[in-house]
Chains A and B, each alone.
Chain A
Amino acid sequence: MQVTVTTRTRASTVAGFVALGLIALGLILPAFASRSLIQDLFFILTMLTLAQLWNLIAGYGGMVSVGQQAFVGIGAYAMFAGVILWGWDPVPAILLGGVAAFLLAIPMAFFAFRLQGAYFAIGTWVIAEVTRLVIAQWKTLGGGTGTSLPREATSDIIGVATIAELFGLRDAAARDVLAYWLALALAVGTMAAIYALLRSRNGLALTALRDNDNAARSVGVDAGRLKWLVFLAAAAMTGLVGALIYMQTARISPDAAFSVTSWTAYVIFIVVIGGIGRLEGPIVGVLVFWGLQTAFSDYGSWYLLALGLIAIAVMLFAPRGLWGLFASRTGIALFPVQRRLVTSGLVTGQPNTQREEVT
């Protein structure tokens, strides 16, 4: 029996080239795009990264966290601390955000992993709220009212002068370009890392764990280790995104940085609308979300009510999201992770005598 295992599909080959093309286009886009388009794309890319990370822990890992805002907030505050207290340049200070979120994730996981299902969700939310309250006591970073990045720090961020010169932009617009490029790098890096994880042995284990914790342990999957790994990695990346978002806005307050609505509810909306448990989902979701936000966010609470209704409708009529609906109709997967077995010369029930021929 000859055995071949493949994950590739024709759509995925095309998608690979399209993705490379889009990344290249994204890189050169600031040369001719308007500042508002760059800002919109910054928003889309950061939300996409947050959504991919939440999708990883919830959609694949089964850990439905409602406390991801803790990592956005702590990441952003760590970046501010680096700049304001220690005089770092904002760009390297973003890395502090990742480290801080990673460190916060350790005690958070320690407590939250004792909880299951809805209790886990509430537990993570509570820990995020506690973190917000603690940070609001940090007087040198503005306490409850927050603070801004000092002018001298934002005026000479690494690379901004070069970008300003290169594209003939004012400093503020050049800062947006820098932030946009960093967001692009984070989004592409995150998606590539998640895709690589899902294609690896651990990707199988993660899905197995989500589907049946008990059975996964019974086939030798180290459930605890894998959950820790994924949760901590997602937290660190979320911290980086948080730091980047607040480098771009240059103004922070505990209520905004630890907002459950902005950094978790919207993110869950994006994942649910697009399709949970698949990489394509958040991409579709974030575009839908951005469209709705652009068109209707002026309507305030009505807009939020509408988002809720849309989410409910999608959950009822397309529980696997818009992409899930599309994929189940067409069988198309842009980022396939399924290992498909192809056998030839097979005689069912006969012992395998040609194992050495395996390709």
Chain B
Amino acid sequence: MTPPVTVLDLANVSKSFGALKVTDDVSFSVPKGQALGIIGPNGAGKSTLFNLITGNILADTGRVTFLDQDVTRTPAMTRVRMGVGRSFQIPQPFEGLTVFENLLTAAAFGQAKREAEVEAECAQILADTELLRRANDLAGSLSLLDRKRLEMARAMATGPELLLLDEIAGGLTEGECQALVATIQALHAKGTTIIWIEHVLHALTSVVERLLVLDFGKVIGIGAPDQIMASREVREIYLGLEV
């Protein structure tokens, strides 16, 4: 059997909160191994779109397909086990557990394995994300950068086929940001499919092959980053340029 070429496919997905349509007829698909960036002004519905993909929110209409399986009504927990890993915009570590235990939990449950089977893998992810020195510290004691790293490391530990990163570079210094980008690039080079929401554009464009622009819940552009950034509509809406 050949592996599915399309990892994720959204077809006419919509979601409303009351009268507010936060996701409006969104369709796109992500081929295996691609890194897709999502940009858009605040309130454009980026995080909601993420939640629809992870299953934290269920779509009103439309269809979400992951690895050729319809997951539109599948709960978040099951989607993680299928291979949808995510980080949160505001880091949400398990503060009472150590950094290593945070990963153990994610790996043991995300991959439905015994602890002993994932210990080495977790240690390796900690090494890759430069968290090994903090492995036995409580997650609640971490700095912002380390919390962001932990967000990503924990998502990686679930063994994702598709990794969703939500503003992972926000709030970091330039140096910290570069370190994080290097980690993401390394991960991408290994073949992990990535969808990344980010305001820090240069970080985003140094990794992704394709950009999707969201405004008022609608997709207003999708394509190669330079092409998208050159588009007049995008510049108007997203960058707020006077035309």
Instruction: State whether these chains interact.
Output: yes
Report yes or no: B105 in contact with A221, Cβ–Cβ below 8 A: yes
Question: Could you mark each residue 190-212 of chain A with 1 if its beta carbon is under 8 Å from any beta carbon of chain B, else 0?
Answer: 00000000000100110110111
Contacting residues, chain A, for B86 (C-beta < 8 A): 218
CA A220 to CA B111, docked complex, whole Å: 8
* Given A204-B101, A339-B104, A220 contacting B112 (CB threshold 8 A): yes
Q: Mark the stretch among B33-41, B74-82, B201-209 that contacts chain A.
A: B74-82
Does B109 sit at the interface, judged by CB under 8 A?
yes
Does B136 sit at the interface, judged by CB under 8 A?
yes
**Which listed residue, B94, B112, B136, touches A207 by the CB 8 Å rule?**
B94
Q: Mark the stretch among A41-49, A100-108, A174-182, A346-354 that contacts chain B.
A: A346-354
CA A201 to CA B227, docked complex, whole Å: 48
Does A3 sit at the interface, judged by CB under 8 A?
yes
Report yes or no: B127 in contact with A204, Cβ–Cβ below 8 A: no
A: contact size bracket: 35 or more
B: contact size bracket: 35 or more
Does B54 sit at the interface, judged by CB under 8 A?
yes
Does A219 sit at the interface, judged by CB under 8 A?
yes
Does A217 sit at the interface, judged by CB under 8 A?
yes
- Closest CB-CB distance, A119 to chain B, in whole Å? 22
Does B191 sit at the interface, judged by CB under 8 A?
no
Report yes or no: A218 in contact with B101, Cβ–Cβ below 8 A: no
CA A192 to CA B93, docked complex, whole Å: 29
Q: Mark the stretch among B6-14, B115-123, B170-178 that contacts chain A.
A: B115-123
Does A214 sit at the interface, judged by CB under 8 A?
yes
Does A23 sit at the interface, judged by CB under 8 A?
no
CA A161 to CA B157, docked complex, whole Å: 59
Contacting residues, chain B, for A208 (C-beta < 8 A): 94, 97, 102, 105
Question: Could you mark each residue 316-359 of chain A with 1 if its beta carbon is under 8 Å from any beta carbon of chain B, else 0?
Answer: 00000000000000000000001111010011111110010010
Question: Could you mark each residue 166-196 of chain B with 1 if its beta carbon is under 8 Å from any beta carbon of chain A, else 0?
Answer: 0000000000000000000000000000000
Does A5 sit at the interface, judged by CB under 8 A?
yes
* Given A219-B105, A349-B130, A341 contacting B135 (CB threshold 8 A): yes
Report yes or no: B92 in contact with A212, Cβ–Cβ below 8 A: yes
Report yes or no: B80 in contact with A343, Cβ–Cβ below 8 A: no
CA A215 to CA B111, docked complex, whole Å: 15
**Which listed residue, B92, B98, B154, touches A214 by the CB 8 Å rule?**
B92
Report yes or no: B119 in contact with A358, Cβ–Cβ below 8 A: yes
Given A204-B104, A219-B80, 12 extra CB contacts under 8 A: A204-B115, A207-B94, A214-B56, A219-B109, A219-B158, A338-B98, A338-B101, A341-B126, A347-B127, A348-B127, A349-B127, A355-B121
19 sampled A-B residue pairs with Cβ under 8 A: A204-B105, A205-B109, A210-B96, A211-B94, A216-B105, A217-B77, A218-B54, A218-B56, A222-B109, A338-B101, A338-B136, A340-B98, A343-B132, A343-B135, A346-B132, A351-B124, A352-B120, A355-B120, A355-B121
Show the binding face of A for B, using Cβ within 8 Å: 1, 3, 5, 201, 204-205, 207-208, 210-212, 214-223, 277, 338-341, 343, 346-352, 355, 358
Q: Closest 6 interchain pairs by CB?
A: A220-B109, A219-B106, A220-B80, A215-B92, A220-B110, A358-B120
